[in-house]
Structure 1
Amino acid sequence: MVASLPVALSAEERIRVLEDRCLTLETQLSSVGNSQSDLRAEMRQEIASLRSEIEALAKSMESSNRQINGKLDRLFGARAVVTAAITLLTSILGSGVVHLAVSIGK
């Protein structure tokens, strides 16, 4: 398995680091001779492990983004409802004040 990455890295940065490691291993693998089959197998396994970890991180990011977007949609929807309620209340109160002013003026 790969050495653990610093926790402070964002998911995108971790994916980038893992992709760099994977490309480095693939480059090294191409230079390893066929006579070193054990090393080649181990490197292929490490590359597969890195690719799996990259896919898992990408799926996790996508899921998190979907959750955040859903929360933002609900927040903006609630904001629109509150704005509409305030507009309606202001309109009703404004009509009442006009009606009161006309009634007093008579």
Structure 2
Amino acid sequence: MEQADKKTRDMLAWAYEKMPVLTSSNKQLQEYYYRCLLSVMMSRYENPNYITDVFWAVGTWPYTISWDNSYASDVLAMLEPESLKGAILTDFEQVQLKKTYVGWN
């Protein structure tokens, strides 16, 4: 649990450095912003055995659906524009209107 906690905190610290800081008198809005960022980061997989390394999955599912990542496309473009480009290119190469997803492999 400690290793998982540390990995999650390290991942969030990396993302916080790249994202704009949101300050508001509405604390719930601030908390919501950071929870949304956590949601995006929990979809990020670094694995050289995956079709792309970095692989943006649908939550904890081992595949990606480009339109499903559209909710986070602005965030992905700010965090890692090259990995977003890779996800889009992988979708064009692999899906080709024959399926709706790209598996990790």
Q: TM-score, normalised by structure 2?
A: 0.27
Q: Would you tell me which structure has more helix in proportion to its own residues?
A: 1
Identify the structure with bigger relative contact order (alpha carbons < 8 Å, sequence gap 6+). Answer: 1
Larger strand fraction of residues: 2
Larger radius of gyration: 1
**TM-score with structure 1 length normalisation?**
0.27
